[in-house]
Each structure stands twice: as structure tokens, then as C-alpha cells.
């Protein structure tokens, strides 16, 4: 079973995204968050989601309370929040809360 190639360091992900010219998929979650756990167990392991994320993005997953600077920078109000950023860290799209695999893929498809 394949999985998303998550970075765990935001700055490393930004450098990689710039080097390969791919957008950043930033997932901000909270330990103990039921919707976050469901997203990880049901959606982020789906084969189509894994393929789409790995092919199109530099993915980084961050526990929000450990990076309040990012929470404030991107004005995050809830968890999980998924942000799509340009390699220059400009926000292109965001979606909040649990998304089924089909909904998650639909959100990713909104990126131009």
C-alpha cells in the first residue's frame, strides 16, 4: 500500500516546492481531533488521493499547536485545514474539515 510522501518540516517543503516547481499541500491538524483522525484513516490513505497528492504536490503535515506561527500566518480557524500554496507560499485554495476521498480529489481539482 502506498502512502503520501509527507514532509514534516514546513521550511524543507517550501525549499523542495521551489526546486521542483510544485505547489505545496499543507495540512494543519491537531492531535486528539476526531475529524483529523478520520481524514488520516479514510481519505489520506485512499489510492487515488495518494497518487494525486504525490504526483502534483509537495505535501507537508504539521500539528498546528506546534507551529502557531503558521496557524497565524495563514489565519487557520479549525482543524483539519488543508492549504494549497504556490512554491512562493501564496495561498491558492483551502478546505477545512473532513473530506471523503471523492470530495478531497474534487478540492484538489480546483487548483489551476
Range of the domain at 24: 6-108
- The helix (H) or strand (E) run that includes residue 19 is helix 10-20
Q: What pLDDT, on the 0 to 100 scale, is given for residue 95?
A: 95
Q: What pLDDT, on the 0 to 100 scale, is given for residue 2?
A: 81
Task: Say yes or no to pLDDT of 7 above 80.
Answer: yes
CATH number for the domain spanning 66: value is 3.40.30.10
Task: Say yes or no to pLDDT of 77 above 80.
Answer: yes
Q: Is position 1 within any domain? A: no
Tally of domains in the chain: 1
Q: What pLDDT, on the 0 to 100 scale, is given for residue 1?
A: 52
Q: Is position 82 within any domain? A: yes
Q: What is the pLDDT of residues 53-71, one digit of tens each?
A: 999 999 999 999 999 999 9
* pTM of the entire predicted model: 0.94
Task: Say yes or no to pLDDT of 29 above 90.
Answer: yes
Task: Say yes or no to pLDDT of 107 above 90.
Answer: yes
Q: Are the beta carbons of 105 and 52 closer than 8 angstroms?
A: yes
Q: What pLDDT, on the 0 to 100 scale, is given for residue 112?
A: 64
- 22/18 Cα distance (integer angstroms): 7
Amino acid at each position: 500500500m502506498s502512502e503520501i510522501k509527507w514532509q514534516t518540516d514546513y521550511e524543507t517543503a517550501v525549499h523542495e516546492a521551489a526546486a521542483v516547481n510544485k505547489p505545496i499541500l499543507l495540512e494543519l491538524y491537531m492531535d486528539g481531533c476526531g475529524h483529523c483522525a478520520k481524514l488520516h484513516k479514510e481519505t489520506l490513505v485512499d489510492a487515488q488521493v495518494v497518487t494525486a497528492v504525490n504526483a502534483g504536490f509537495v505535501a507537508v503535515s504539521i500539528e498546528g499547536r506546534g507551529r502557531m506561527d503558521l496557524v497565524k500566518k495563514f489565519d487557520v480557524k479549525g482543524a483539519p485545514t488543508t492549504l494549497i500554496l504556490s512554491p512562493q507560499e501564496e495561498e491558492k485554495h483551502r478546505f477545512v474539515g473532513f473530506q471523503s476521498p471523492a470530495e478531497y480529489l474534487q478540492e484538489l481539482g480546483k487548483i489551476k
